Structure 1
Amino acid sequence: MGTAPVYFRSPNDGWMWATVPDGPNGGPDGAPVVQMCVSHKLLITLAYKTILSLKAFTRQHMSLPDRTMNGSRGAQASPPPQGIYVPVPTFFAGEGTASYDPVTPPLDTKTQSEHSLFLVRGGIKGLVILGSSGEAIFLRNKERNELISSQRKTLDGNGYKDRPIIAGTATQQIDDTVEMIKESKDAGAEYAMVLGPGYFAPSTSQQGIQKWFEAVADRSVLPVMIYHYPGVTNNLQITPATFEKLAAHPNIVGTKLSHGMIDDQTLIAASPRIDHDHFYVFTGLGQNLLPVLTIGGVAAIDGLAGIFPRIVVRLFRLYNDSAAKGTTKEDIKAMRDLQFRICEGEKIVAKWAVIGIKEALARMWGLGSKTGGRLPLAGGFEGGDEEWKKWEKTFQGLRELEEQFKAEGKEG
């Protein structure tokens, strides 16, 4: 447990200081903390709740680099700020552009930046770049770094320095993963989201999974989030018991759970053996957002939020606002209605993944190209306009709701 200095003005003229233990409860077992302040021989008694308030204020107003401590079993790293995040698609040059290449179309950082600003202006807390929706496995390292760097500059240059970038990795080898995280940090990322090693999933023990993630976290220059997505890792399973052990690592700060096993999500998000001030549980499925919030999850990293940010953010804020003031029947109905609308839209993400996201962004907002992917995902919807007709009514309704929230001046 570290300490943090807090300064106070003396009733006479001098400045006084006190060191405040930087633990989850202030003092041992949550006891009030008393510190001697050497100035005018005054004794300052700092009440427990006051210390917590000061610590919370400090964490809220520190810059992102100051909040993300890291190192090999060193100081406790802080999790990313709570809120809705988007696993952003990677935009490539589309057909008809001068630089178009049907095999490896180049990055379209201009559209990427337009989309990033569209998201943060709609209330999105931060961006997950190079996740599954970002087609990271199809990118060269140089492109990865260019993507992160360009979006960090876009956010910073438009007044969004407080919006973190979480950079994904999907490698199997520990040293490669650590090197990729280092490059991501140099490019401007604040956190790393690390996909589990699934090549030998049927033969991989829970102890092996634990040691693999701990080895990465020990060496990582960024705080690590565990990306648990059985659907793309050969059905690699990370049990709640393993999560409890990994959550104790000072450089592991959370997880994205991209599966629908609500029992496992509950056993992680509500576990009394996890310090939930330092380990955040995000669902990777917006259709699970409301249920996950009720069991202790903090928010979502969600694909549909990349198309309709205000709608997903609105549900998140409605839940937290109602919890703070006392939830009413009207609040419950409003949350259920929003969750229903989100679930309708998520069907396209569940069926078509990043292809569906790109199709909807192009048709709804004119962002990117329906054919702007890399092989084998290039080409847009199979069925084209006929397939889109199945979704058009739902998405037109969601667009109207998104625009309604925007007109009301609501970031969600």
Structure 2
Amino acid sequence: MASKASPPPAGIYVPVPTFWAKEGTSNYDPVSPPLDLETQTEHSLFLVKGGIKGLVILGSTGEAIFTTTKERTELISSQRKALDDAGYKDRPIIAGTATQQIDDTLQIIEESKAAGAEYAMVLGPGYFAPATSQNGIQLWFEAVANKSVLPVMIYHYPGVTNNLYISPATFEKLAAHPNIVGTKLSHGIIDDQTLIAASPRIDHDHFYVFTGMGQNLLPVLAIGGVAAIDGLAGIFPRIVVRLFTMFNDSAAKGITQKDMQAMRDLQFRICEGEKLVAAFGVVGIKEAIARLWGMGSRTGGRLPLAGGFQEGEKEWNKWAETFQGLKELEEKFKSEGKES
């Protein structure tokens, strides 16, 4: 039997946005603005200094479907070099794939490895979701994992895969594959997450369950999930890392009522911020990063996401108080120096 690949280290990961050149720069193109690797690196270092365990590059938040092969390679290789040069060689890069065809997926994984990625996060094939059986899903992922040059994580995000559903029973079968090492569950079906993260039929030392929603972090940790791959952590890394650390530290010594209340309070604050991420996705994340930390542009992504908030200041004003409070909490945690 083939030896089992190891999952990525436990911790909070960020599905990073891809930063494009700003309006007014010499190389700006309103249809396909080029990569802004300087800002990309600034943001990557901001995250790892805040305790983020690793980066997911070219996931949904990274606008993977809007990038060229050349840009994918540039993006991954530049950030691998930036992390290494800054002394963060231990922070893995997980490369997203968003194709439907098995050979194309394998090629993207191979190119991602050559560029410096350590894991592949493979989005489910959702084009024919209504007609796709659980057996078909299982065979598709197994075909990818059999030939993948990187350990595979299953990316289950019904919101971008035509509501493709992967059942807990299918996850149990896929988790047994030696080259499938985990999943990112980007949905709020807590009972399904429990049936995967707490399943006695899964080797949880080999197969890690990450929630893709920071608003579910505390309950997912409680049912056996490992951590989160979370968009809000791309804005407030220390806040999300702090909840992860609080849970694991208190679980190790015995969770008290005081510990539980502190974790609930922090989860509540995270949930307030996650409402923006849930409502606007990468557009909201970029808006917040630009406004709060001065990185990147508020004009959103590539077409059709370009333009940022449609109602501009009016929309941001709905969130300003919550996000200013979260910024102050992030800065408080930074001053304590526990997560860097």
TM-score by length of 2: 0.99
Query: Structure 2, unaligned stretches of length 5 or more?
Result: none
In 1, Cα distance between equivalents of 2:28 and 2:258: 51
In 2, Cα distance between equivalents of 1:339 and 1:295: 15
The residue aligned with 2:64 is 136
Query: Structure 1, unaligned stretches of length 5 or more?
Result: 1-72
Aligned 8 A contact 1:243 1:268 in 2: yes
Aligned 8 A contact 2:233 2:240 in 1: yes
In 2, Cα distance between equivalents of 1:219 and 1:382: 44
The residue aligned with 2:255 is 327
Aligned 8 A contact 1:265 1:292 in 2: yes
Amino acid at match of 2:167: T
Matched, 1:166 2:97: no
In 2, Cα distance between equivalents of 1:145 and 1:247: 29
- SS in structure 2 at match of 1:133: coil
Matched, 1:279 2:207: yes
Select the structure with the greater relative contact order (CA < 8 A; seq sep ≥ 6).
2
| Offset of residue 372 of structure 1 | 4.7
Matched, 1:356 2:289: no
Q: 1:377 aligns with which of 281, 305, 314?
A: 305
In 2, Cα distance between equivalents of 1:194 and 1:74: 21
The residue aligned with 1:243 is 171
Q: How big is each residue's C-alpha offset from its partner over 1:233-267, in whole Å with a ceiling of 9 and x where there is no partner?
A: 00000000000000000000000000000000000
% identity of equivalent residues: 81
Matched, 1:270 2:198: yes
Which stretch shifts more, 198-207 or 366-375?
A: 366-375
- SS in structure 2 at match of 1:362: helix
Give runs of ≥4 in structure 1 deviating > 4 Å.
none
Aligned 8 A contact 1:95 1:372 in 2: no
The residue aligned with 2:230 is 302
The residue aligned with 2:49 is 121
Aligned 8 A contact 1:93 1:372 in 2: no
TM-score by length of 1: 0.82
The residue aligned with 1:68 is none
Amino acid at match of 1:342: I
In 1, Cα distance between equivalents of 2:236 and 2:26: 30
- SS in structure 2 at match of 1:245: helix
- SS in structure 2 at match of 1:166: strand
The residue aligned with 2:320 is 392
In 1, Cα distance between equivalents of 2:236 and 2:19: 17
Aligned 8 A contact 2:287 2:300 in 1: no
Aligned 8 A contact 2:283 2:300 in 1: no
Q: How big is each residue's C-alpha offset from its partner over 1:242-299, in whole Å with a ceiling of 9 and x where there is no partner?
A: 0000000000000000000000000000000000000000000000000000000000
The residue aligned with 2:24 is 96
Amino acid at match of 2:271: C
| Offset of residue 371 of structure 1 | 1.1
- SS in structure 2 at match of 1:132: coil
The residue aligned with 2:36 is 108
- SS in structure 1 at match of 2:61: helix
Task: Tell me the C-alpha RMSD between the 2 structures.
Answer: 0.7
The residue aligned with 1:156 is 84
The residue aligned with 2:105 is 177
Amino acid at match of 1:231: G
Aligned 8 A contact 1:94 1:372 in 2: no
The residue aligned with 1:405 is 333
Amino acid at match of 1:113: T
Structure whose alpha-carbon radius of gyration is higher = 1
| Offset of residue 74 of structure 1 | 2.5
| Offset of residue 373 of structure 1 | 1.4
Q: How big is each residue's C-alpha offset from its partner over 1:59-94, in whole Å with a ceiling of 9 and x where there is no partner?
A: xxxxxxxxxxxxxx7321000000000000000001
In 2, Cα distance between equivalents of 1:101 and 1:372: 14
Q: How big is each residue's C-alpha offset from its partner over 1:304-343, in whole Å with a ceiling of 9 and x where there is no partner?
A: 0000000000000000000001111110011000000000
In 1, Cα distance between equivalents of 2:241 and 2:309: 27
In 1, Cα distance between equivalents of 2:33 and 2:115: 22
Aligned 8 A contact 1:201 1:233 in 2: yes
Question: Which residues in structure 2 correspond to 1:148-227 (within 5 Å)?
Answer: 148-227=76-155
- SS in structure 1 at match of 2:178: coil
Q: 2:8 aligns with which of 80, 87, 90?
A: 80
- SS in structure 2 at match of 1:236: coil
Aligned 8 A contact 1:227 1:257 in 2: yes
Q: How big is each residue's C-alpha offset from its partner over 1:178-203, in whole Å with a ceiling of 9 and x where there is no partner?
A: 01000000000000000000000000
Aligned 8 A contact 2:10 2:226 in 1: yes
Amino acid at match of 1:262: I
